[in-house]
C-alpha cells in the first residue's frame, strides 16, 4: 500500500472521528434534588430533567406566581406602581423572610414588589395580595385561575407566600413554564429579579440567588426554602441570544441549589444552540385556494418558531410541509391548513401548524363554477 493511500485512509478516519465527536452529546448531569428541569425559553424544548412532573412543595417559588398576577394587574391598568398600600396586621405578622414593613404604614406597590422578588418578603406578598384582590384568599383564586389559563395542570396554590399549607404544590415543569411566560410577557418588571440587593426601612438585604453574584449572564429568577420543600431555585441566564431556564427543587443547602443549577446551565449552553426558524405571520408558502375571490392564500405560523438542537447540527435539520388538499373558500385568517414537520435525522423536533395568514372570501358564481370544473379534472 502506498504512502499516499495510507495518508488518504488516515484522513478519512480522522474526519469520521471528528464528525462523530461533533454530534456527540453527553448525558446531562445527575443532580442531588427531588426534581429538576432544564428548558430553553424561546423554543420551550426540554434539554434535561428528572421527576419534572413530581408534585412538590414550592416554598417561595410561589412568589413567581404572586408576581405574575400582580404584573398582569399592572399591565391591565387595574393598579399602578405608585399606589400606596396600607399594611395590615396579617401582612405585618407574616412569619419567615420579610422586608420589614410596619403595620399601618403605607408602602407603594413598586416597593412591595421589590421587597418580594429581591428580599423574598412574605409580608410584602400578603400586602400585595390583599391590595390586589381584597384578601389573600381572593388573590389565591386569581393565582389558580392564571395557573389553569397557563396550562399548569399539576399546580395548586393555597397562599401567596409559599409557607407550608395542605395541597400547596407545583412541579418543576410547571414552574419553568410559568417563569418563561413571566419573562416573555412582563420584561419591564422581570428585570427586578436580577437586582442583587435592596434597602427598605434602612435594612439592606441581599438577593438570595447566589448565582447572581457568580455569573454575569444570570439575571434571575427566584429562590425558595422551607424544611419540607428543601432548598429550591429557579435560575435563568442569557448568553448571546439563547436563554435557558432551570428549576431545581428539594436540594440540601443554599449552596447546593446554586451549584446544581449552574451545572444544568453550563451543560445546556455548552452542548445546545437555539435558532429562530420562522417569524409570526411570515409567509412560508403560497397555495391555491378554490372558489374564492382570489386564487392564492399565504400560509405561515401564528407565532415565532424557535428550535433548539445539539451544537453543530443546525444545517442537518429537515423541514417538510403537509398541507390540506383542495382548500376551498371561504377561509378565515388563522385557520389551520396543515403543519410543518421539522426533523433532525429520524427525530421529530417540532410540528407547528400552518395557518392562513389572511382571510379569503367566497368568489362569484362564475369563479365557483370554473373552480368546480377544474377540481373535477384534478
Q: What is the pLDDT of residue 1?
A: 45
Neighbours of 60 (CB within 10 A): 26
Q: What Å distances lie between residue 200 and 100, 115, 121, 260, CA to CA?
A: 8, 8, 11, 31
C-beta of residue 84 within 8 angstroms of C-beta of residue 107 = yes
Please identify which residue in the block is written with the cell numbers 391598568: 77
Q: What is the pLDDT of residue 5?
A: 47
**What are the 10-residue block averages of pLDDT along the chain, 378 residues in total?**
43 41 77 97 97 98 98 98 98 97 98 98 98 98 98 98 97 98 98 97 96 96 97 97 97 98 98 95 91 91 95 94 90 95 94 95 77 71
Domains in the chain, please, with CATH?
35-273 (3.40.710.10), 279-377 (2.60.410.10)
Cell of 281: 405571520
Please identify which residue in the block is written with the cell numbers 399594611: 87
Please identify which residue in the block is written with the cell numbers 464528525: 19
Closest CA to 342 of 320, 324, 316: 320
Q: What Å distances lie between residue 368 and 228, 250, 358, 363, 374, CA to CA?
A: 68, 64, 20, 6, 10
How far apart are the C-alpha atoms of 242 and 221, rounded to whole Å? 16
Q: What is the pLDDT of residue 7?
A: 41
How far apart are the C-alpha atoms of 152 and 160, rounded to whole Å? 16
330 upstream amide cis, omega within 30 of 0: yes
Q: What is the pLDDT of residue 377?
A: 72
- H helix intervals, the chain: 3-23, 62-75, 89-92, 109-117, 122-133, 136-149, 172-185, 187-190, 254-271, 365-377
How far apart are the C-alpha atoms of 364 and 362, rounded to whole Å? 7
User: Can you list the positions of beta strands (E) in 272-346?
Assistant: 272-278, 285-290, 296-300, 305-310, 317-323, 327-328, 336-344
Q: What is the pLDDT of residue 40?
A: 98
Q: What is the pLDDT of residue 342?
A: 96
Torsion of CA 25, 248, 64, 152, to 10 degrees: 70
Q: What is the pLDDT of residue 373?
A: 72
The DSSP bridge pattern shows strands 305-310 and 272-278 to be: antiparallel
pTM of the model: 0.89
- What amino acid positions are annotated as catalytic residues? 60, 63, 120
Cβ neighbors of 222 (< 8 A, separation 6 or more) are: 60, 61, 63, 64, 117, 120, 179, 193, 209, 233, 234
C-beta of residue 61 within 8 angstroms of C-beta of residue 125 = no
| 199 bridge partner residues | 204
Amino acid at each position: 500500500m502506498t504512502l499516499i493511500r495510507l495518508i488518504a485512509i488516515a484522513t478519512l478516519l480522522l474526519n469520521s472521528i471528528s464528525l462523530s465527536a461533533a454530534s456527540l452529546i453527553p448525558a446531562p448531569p445527575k443532580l442531588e434534588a427531588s426534581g429538576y428541569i432544564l428548558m430553553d425559553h424561546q423554543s420551550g424544548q426540554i434539554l434535561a430533567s428528572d421527576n419534572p412532573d413530581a408534585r412538590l412543595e414550592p416554598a417561595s417559588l410561589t412568589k413567581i406566581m404572586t408576581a405574575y398576577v400582580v404584573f398582569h394587574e399592572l399591565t391591565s391598568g387595574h393598579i399602578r406602581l405608585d399606589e400606596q398600600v396600607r399594611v395590615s396586621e396579617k401582612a405585618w405578622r407574616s412569619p419567615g423572610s420579610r422586608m420589614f414593613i410596619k403595620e399601618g404604614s403605607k408602602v407603594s406597590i413598586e416597593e412591595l414588589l421589590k421587597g418580594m422578588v429581591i428580599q423574598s418578603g412574605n409580608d410584602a406578598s400578603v400586602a400585595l395580595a390583599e391590595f390586589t384582590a381584597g384578601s389573600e384568599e381572593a388573590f389565591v383564586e386569581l393565582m389558580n385561575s392564571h395557573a389553569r389559563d397557563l396550562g399548569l395542570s399539576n399546580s395548586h396554590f393555597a397562599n401567596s407566600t409559599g409557607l407550608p399549607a395542605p395541597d400547596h404544590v407545583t412541579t418543576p415543569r410547571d414552574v419553568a413554564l410559568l417563569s418563561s411566560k413571566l419573562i416573555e410577557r412582563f420584561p419591564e418588571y422581570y428585570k427586578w429579579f436580577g437586582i442583587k440587593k435592596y434597602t427598605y426601612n434602612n435594612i439592606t438585604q441581599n438577593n438570595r440567588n447566589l448565582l447572581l453574584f457568580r455569573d454575569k449572564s444570570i439575571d434571575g429568577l427566584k429562590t425558595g426554602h422551607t424544611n419540607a420543600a428543601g432548598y429550591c431555585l429557579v435560575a435563568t441566564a442569557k448568553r448571546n441570544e439563547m436563554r435557558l431556564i432551570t428549576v431545581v427543587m428539594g436540594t440540601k443547602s443554599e449552596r447546593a441549589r446554586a451549584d446544581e443549577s449552574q451545572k444544568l446551565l453550563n451543560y445546556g449552553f455548552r452542548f445546545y444552540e437555539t435558532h429562530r426558524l420562522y417569524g409570526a405571520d411570515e409567509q412560508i408558502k403560497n397555495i391555491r385556494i378554490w372558489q374564492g375571490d382570489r386564487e392564492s392564500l399565504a400560509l405561515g405560523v401564528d407565532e415565532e418558531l424557535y428550535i433548539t438542537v445539539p451544537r453543530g447540527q443546525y444545517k442537518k435539520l429537515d423541514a417538510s410541509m403537509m398541507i390540506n388538499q383542495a382548500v376551498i373558500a371561504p377561509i378565515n385568517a388563522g385557520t389551520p391548513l396543515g403543519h410543518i414537520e421539522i426533523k433532525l435525522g429520524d427525530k421529530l423536533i417540532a410540528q407547528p401548524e400552518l395557518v392562513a395568514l389572511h382571510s379569503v372570501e367566497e368568489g362569484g358564481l362564475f369563479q365557483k363554477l370554473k373552480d368546480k370544473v377544474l377540481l373535477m379534472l384534478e
